[in-house]
A = this chain, B = another copy of it.
Amino acid sequence: MKRKITLKQIARELEVSISTVSKALKDSAEISEDTKQKIKAFAKLYHYRPNNLAISLKNRRTKNIGVIIPDIVHYFFTTVFRGIEHYSQEHGYNIIACVSDESLEKEIINMEMLANGSVDGFILALSAETQKKNEFDHLREILDQGIPLVLFDRVTDEIECDKVMINDQEAAFLGVKKFIDNGRKKIALITTEDYFSVSRDREAGYRQALLQFGLPLDEDLILKLPFMALDESAINMFFSTQEVDAVLCVNEIFAIHCMNLVQQKGIKVPEEISFIGFTDGILSKYANPGLTSIAQHGFRMGEIAAKMLIGKIEDDLGEEEEETYHTEIIRSNIIERGSTIN
């Protein structure tokens, strides 16, 4: 078991100084060709690699970025993660991945752990609890320390920083419009409790569409389900008391689950009830019938988030301009499948 070799050891072995070795390996003009050759050969022979920690300490830059997501067993977040990873990788950054588990406390702990030199910046989607409690001091502190932060998908207006999201309201609007174009009249919305930024926006789009196209707004057609545990009986109750011919769901799981329950009742999809979901994950694709779904382009979202963050990180190295923040909106689009009529 051979420990990694260091500059010091090379220096001792070759009877030169550490600085000489360091410079030689960087091909500095200060060092004679002879010496450089000797040192390089020796370094190669012993597989010398500079120690990342030492370099990070010296540069005050880690080339790591912290990604904190609420849940990783979740198609959308995973896809975004993939996009972040892809862009970062190409630009020489590593990802330290943390899962907040929808908990504010874990979100805080994770950020604090990483903020002490472990990462150069954060990419984050707010946990459910964070959004519910409207607690953002931990984010403010990070920003105060000059650590860049990019929020994606689950964002908040209370924090000024870079953000990436989709046009949720418009997307929901277009979903409802599609139902209306297909002649649907009783359009339900199945969503989470109010505290999610995305759910609020999607609900706004739903309402806007009904209003704009002159359909009555029936509050009973809006079902708000608890986010964490799917409540089957609530869903069943909803579908036996309400008469609906189309359902917009704010996420894939809700949609698939409802579609299954409805089909079990013998109701035909899409003939009697149409469904549209958000996320366009793997479930939508393989469902029976396929679920028409609003693609959130997670991969692109991740890439853009990473790009924005790395941009900020590397800008911070240059002149200290006053901060400007951007909000990038990714246009979603509807992927049509069997759960709606073409």
Q: Determine whether the beta carbon of B112 is less than 8 Å from that of A94.
A: no
Chain B nearest Cβ from A276, distance in angstroms: 17
Flag whether A283 is at the interface (Cβ < 8 A): yes
Cross-chain contact A85 with B98 (CB below 8 angstroms): yes
A144, CB-defined interface residue at 8 Å: yes
Contacts of A288 in B (CB 8 A): 260, 263, 287-288
Interface stretch (choices A50-58, A151-159, A165-173, A328-336): A50-58
A75-B141 Cα distance, complex, nearest whole Å = 35
Choose among B75, B85, B118, B144 the residue that contacts A53 (Cβ–Cβ < 8 A). B118
* Interface membership of A1, Cβ < 8 A: yes
In the complex, are the beta carbons of B263 and A286 less than 8 A apart? Answer: no
Residues of B within 8 A of A78 (CB): 72-73, 78
Specify which chain B residues have a CB less than 8 angstroms from the CB of A85 in the assembled complex.
72, 97-99
A29 at the interface (CB under 8 A from B): no
Q: Which of A192-214 contact B (CB under 8 A)?
A: none
Confirm or deny: A81 has a beta carbon within 8 angstroms of a beta carbon on chain B: yes
Contact B99–A97 (Cβ < 8 Å): no
Tell me the bound Cα distance from A203 to B97 in angstroms: 35
The smallest beta-carbon distance between A296 and chain B, in angstroms, is 14
> Known pairs A2-B146, A64-B118, A263-B288. 18 more at Cβ < 8 A?
A2-B144, A2-B145, A3-B145, A3-B146, A4-B116, A49-B112, A50-B116, A52-B118, A72-B85, A73-B75, A73-B82, A73-B282, A81-B97, A85-B99, A94-B98, A94-B113, A95-B98, A256-B286
Closest 3 CB pairs of A and B: A97-B97, A51-B117, A1-B146
